[in-house]
C-alpha cells in the first residue's frame, strides 16, 4: 500500500461519520446514504488526495456531486418508465379500441344480413365502396332513383335495428 493510499484511507476513516451525516442529509434515506458514502469512498480512493485542497470540503463535494448524478439518473429512469407506461397505456387503449371496432363491425355485419339482397348491395356499393349513385346504378344495372331508394331504405332499416338493440340493452 502506497503512502498516498494509506493517507487517504486514514482521512476517510476519520471523516466517515461526518460523510455519513452529510450523505443522509442529502438523501433522507439511510440506504441511499450508505450507497452514496460507498460510491464516494470508491471515487476518493481512485482520485487520490488533491494537492493543496482542503480534504473535508473535497470529500463533501464528491459526495454532493455523486448525489446530483444519482438524482439526474433517477429522473431519466422515471421519465423512461413514464414513457414506457404511457406507451403501454396507449397500446392498451389502442387494443381496446381495436376490440371495440371489431365488435362494432360484427354488429354492423350482422345487421347488414337483415337487409334484403338489393338493399345490402346498394348500400355496400355506395356507403362502403364509395361509389356514386350513378356508378352503383350502372354496376347493378338499375336506374339511379332505384339505388337512391334502396340505400335510403337500407339506412332506415339499420337505424331501426340499432335503436331496437339499444332499447333492449337499456334497463
Tell me the CATH architecture of domain 3-83.
Answer: Orthogonal Bundle (1.10)
* Residue that has been written with the C-alpha cell 365502396 in this structure: 129
Is 12:41 a contact under the CB 8 Å cutoff? yes
Give residue-wise pLDDT tens across range 108-156.
778 888 888 889 888 888 888 788 999 889 888 899 999 999 999 999 9
Which pLDDT score, from 0 to 100, does residue 167 have? 79
Alpha carbon distance 67, 73 (integer Å): 10
What is the widest separation between alpha-carbon atoms in the chain?
Answer: 105
What are the extents of the domains in the chain? 3-83, 114-169
Transcribe 112-132 into DSSP letters. HTTS-HHHHHHHIIIIIS---
DSSP structural state of residue 28:
S
pLDDT of residue 132: 92
Q: What is the pTM of this model?
A: 0.45
114-169 fold? Arc Repressor Mutant, subunit A (1.10.10)
Amino acid at each position: 500500500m502506497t503512502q498516498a493510499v494509506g493517507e487517504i484511507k486514514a482521512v476517510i476513516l476519520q471523516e466517515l461519520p461526518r460523510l455519513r451525516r452529510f450523505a443522509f442529509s442529502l438523501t433522507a434515506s439511510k440506504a441511499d446514504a450508505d450507497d452514496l458514502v460507498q460510491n464516494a469512498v470508491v471515487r476518493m480512493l481512485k482520485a487520490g488526495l488533491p494537492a493543496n485542497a482542503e480534504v473535508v470540503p473535497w470529500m463533501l463535494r464528491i459526495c454532493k456531486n455523486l448525489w446530483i448524478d444519482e438524482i439526474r439518473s433517477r429522473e431519466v429512469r422515471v421519465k423512461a418508465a413514464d414513457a414506457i407506461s404511457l406507451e403501454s397505456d396507449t397500446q392498451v387503449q389502442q387494443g381496446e379500441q381495436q376490440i371495440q371496432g371489431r365488435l362494432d363491425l360484427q354488429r354492423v355485419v350482422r345487421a347488414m344480413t337483415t337487409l334484403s339482397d338489393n338493399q345490402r348491395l346498394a348500400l355496400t356499393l355506395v356507403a362502403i365502396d364509395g361509389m356514386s349513385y350513378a356508378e352503383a346504378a350502372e354496376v347493378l344495372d338499375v336506374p339511379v332513383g332505384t339505388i337512391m331508394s334502396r340505400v335510403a331504405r337500407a339506412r332506415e332499416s339499420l337505424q331501426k335495428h340499432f335503436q331496437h338493440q339499444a332499447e333492449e340493452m337499456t334497463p
